[in-house]
Amino acid sequence: MTDIMHSLADIVGEDYVSSQPEEIYFYARDPGLMPPHEPDYVVVPSTVEEIQEIVRLANREKTPVVPMGAGLALTGLIIPLKGGIVIDMKRMNRILEVNEGARYAIVEGGTSQGQLSAYLEKNYPRLRHSIPDAPPTATIAANVTIHGQGRLTQQRGFNSDMVGGLEVVLPSGEVCKIGSCALSFGWFSKGPPLPDLSGLFLGWFGATGIITKLAVKLYPRKKFRDVEIFVTDRGELVPDIVYEITHTEMAEDVLIFTQPMPLMFRDNHHVSFYITGDTDEELEFKRKLIWKALDRFIKAKDGGFMGIPPAMKPTLLEMPQRSASRLADVKRGGGFEYSGPIIMVEKYPECSEKLKELASQYGLAYSGMVRVIDGGHSMMFAFAFAFNRSDPDMMENTRKALKEVSDFVLKVGGVYWKPTVEEQRMALENMDPNTRKLMKMIKENLDPNGIMNPGNWEFIS
């Protein structure tokens, strides 16, 4: 055993550390397109103190540490680009507190989306959180770290906007509280009225610290939930349609999809919206307002509501929705990756055209999936491609298509979401130089030895 291996075993116990090839193989990769890179060690801590010890050790040894949730971000963010220690957060999965009155839950940094939603459903049936459509093993901390979006994003913004406070192990090994919890026993705000320091960690992919606890804001869970799908054959009308729907302020979630398969979806754009209510009257009231808001498109024959077959409803209403996971395997061989820039809704027509163009150019199976963010201030447009992992040509074509997406995004004013290392580099190169300087200052001050998820948000001066 190496010294580091010994030290790690001392910290977490021998059963929870490994440098065996089978584990190293597994932790070297994610389900996306990035080439794998092996870590030297994998460790699975269960307490904050253990994480502190691991980070201190890494600092002493100048060895990288990469925190990992479920590894589902798909863009290589947990691939240990420079080796070192992967910290698998899965054992830190306790739900520590639910404050029903103030509507928040405090969970540990490895708690999964599925765990929290199941817990709430059982114990607090009137509360819910913003569930992303990622598989339920995806972790809450990682999701806010990458500014994920979920089922309440149309109403409440990014999932990271719905954080009520953080506990972070800094690269120095110190533990730090962020938000109201720094001063109060209440975890009700991640920043205001204090300076909002959560920005030092959210969006940094673990490159500035490891989140060991966080408060997730909870929202009313209504008794009934329903979905409607408005269909148009004119992509250029989609921004208007979204504008009308969001103007009513009646929709919980607004999603858009365009894809050629199954055949019933070919050549159309589908704006689906979800409504909720505690009574039928509430639900019907919301439905009516939105339907009426779209009346002019129906009258002009530019769009209409599709009759959703009863068999399709449960699939559409499930949380997370599995349709994206299904797309992931249309080509068999389980390869799936999307580039999901955050971009203004007015750019929908250009994005959907580009997606089709790339799919036809590279012969790829595709889907365009959109989540409207925060009442329509922006959207996440996923340029999603499925590929067969055992087909190197198809993988290469997907890489090329995604590279073209990266270039396109900047041209149309988009901002990368959970960018690959290459996209991070492009973002840094193209951003305001003083912003870049500020980011660099933050990173170097927090992580002078550059041990935290190195390769990500790396500043080449």
Partner 1 sequence: MYELKFDGSLCQTCPTADCLVKCQYMDLEKDEAKKQMVNIWEGKDSFVFEGCVTCYACEEYCRRGNHPFYLITEKREEKGLLTAPRAITKQWINIGEPQGKFKVGKPGERVLSFGFMPEFFKMAKGRLFQKAMPSFIFGQEFFCNVVYIHFANTSIIKKRLPMIMENFRKLGVKEVVCLHDECYGSFAHLAPAYGIEVPFKPIHYFEFLYERLKELRNDIKPLNFKVAYQRPCSSRLSPDKHRLVRDIMDLIGVRLVEREYQDENALCCGGIYAMCFGYDLANDVQRRNMDDMAKHGAEYCVFNCPACQGTLGEKVAKMGIKPIHMIELCRMAIGEA
Ligand X SMILES: Cc1cc2nc3c(=O)[nH]c(=O)nc-3n(C[C@H](O)[C@H](O)[C@H](O)COP(=O)(O)OP(=O)(O)OC[C@H]3O[C@@H](n4cnc5c(N)ncnc54)[C@H](O)[C@@H]3O)c2cc1C
Residue number with CB closer to partner 1 (338 or 348): 348
Q: Which residue, 195 or 309, has its beta carbon nearer to partner 1?
A: 309
Stretch that binds partner 1, among 26-34, 60-68, 285-293, 417-425 (CB under 8 A): 285-293
CB of 310 to partner 1, least distance (A): 5
For ligand X, the closer CB: 143 or 276: 143
Window of 56-64, 137-145, 189-197, 257-265 that interacts with partner 1 by CB under 8 A: 257-265
Contacts of 267 (CB under 8 A, 6+ apart): 233, 260
What is the rounded CA–CA span in Å between residue 66 and residue 46?
Answer: 16
**Under rule CB under 8 A, how many of the chain's residues touch partner 1?**
29
Q: Which does 132 bind (CB under 5 to 8 A by kind): ligand X, partner 1, none?
A: ligand X
- Residue 182 sits in the site that holds partner 1 (CB under 8 A): no
State the minimum distance, in angstroms, from the CB of residue 234 to ligand X.
Answer: 26
| Cβ pair 65, 55 in contact under 8 A | yes
Q: Using CA atoms, how far apart are residues 444 and 450, in angstroms rounded to an integer?
A: 7
Residue that the structure tokens 């690959």 belong to: 420
For residue 307, the partner it binds in ligand X, partner 1, none, with Cβ less than 5 to 8 A by kind, is partner 1
Stretch that binds partner 1, among 49-57, 188-196, 284-292, 418-426 (CB under 8 A): 284-292
Residues 201-240 that bind partner 1 (CB under 8 A): 231-233
Rounded CA separation 337/328 (Å)? 8
> Residue 299's binding partner, choosing from partner 1, ligand X, none, with beta-carbon cut-off 5 to 8 A by kind?
partner 1
State yes or no: residue 263 binds partner 1 (CB under 8 A): yes
- Residue 257 contacts partner 1 per CB under 8 A: no
Complex with partner 1: residue 238 or 402, whichever CB lies closer? 238
The partner in contact with residue 441, picked from partner 1, ligand X, none with C-beta cut-offs of 5 to 8 angstroms by kind, is none
d(CA 388, CA 407): 24
Q: Which two tokens stand for residue 83?
A: 């080796």
CB of 383 to partner 1, least distance (A): 22
Q: Which is nearer to partner 1, 274 or 362 (CB)?
A: 274
* 119-158 residues near partner 1, rule: CB under 8 A: none
Task: Kindly state the smallest distance separating residue 111's Cβ from ligand X, in Å.
Answer: 10
Per-residue burial over 219-247, b if 16 or more Cβ lie within 10 Å, else e, is: bebbeebbbbbbbbeebebbbbbbebbbe
Interacting residues with partner 1 between 293 and 312 (CB under 8 A): 294-295, 297-299, 301-307, 309-311
Residues that bind ligand X (CB under 6 A): 66-74, 77-78, 89, 109, 132-134, 138-139, 141-143, 145-146, 148-150, 205-206, 210-211, 324-325, 328, 453
The residues in 389-418 that bind partner 1, with binding defined as CB under 8 A, are none
Between residues 99 and 268, which has the closer beta carbon with respect to partner 1? 268
| Nearest CA among 277, 270, 249 for reference residue 154 | 249
Out of ligand X, partner 1, none, what residue 141 binds, judged by CB under 5 to 8 A for its kind, is: ligand X
Q: List the one residue from 266, 326, 332, 377 that touches partner 1 (CB under 8 A).
A: 266
Closest approach, Cβ 306 to partner 1, in A, equals 6
- The site partner of 130 among ligand X, partner 1, none (C-beta below 5 to 8 Å per kind) is none
Binding site for partner 1 (CB under 8 A): 231-233, 263-269, 280, 288, 291-292, 294-295, 297-299, 301-307, 309-311
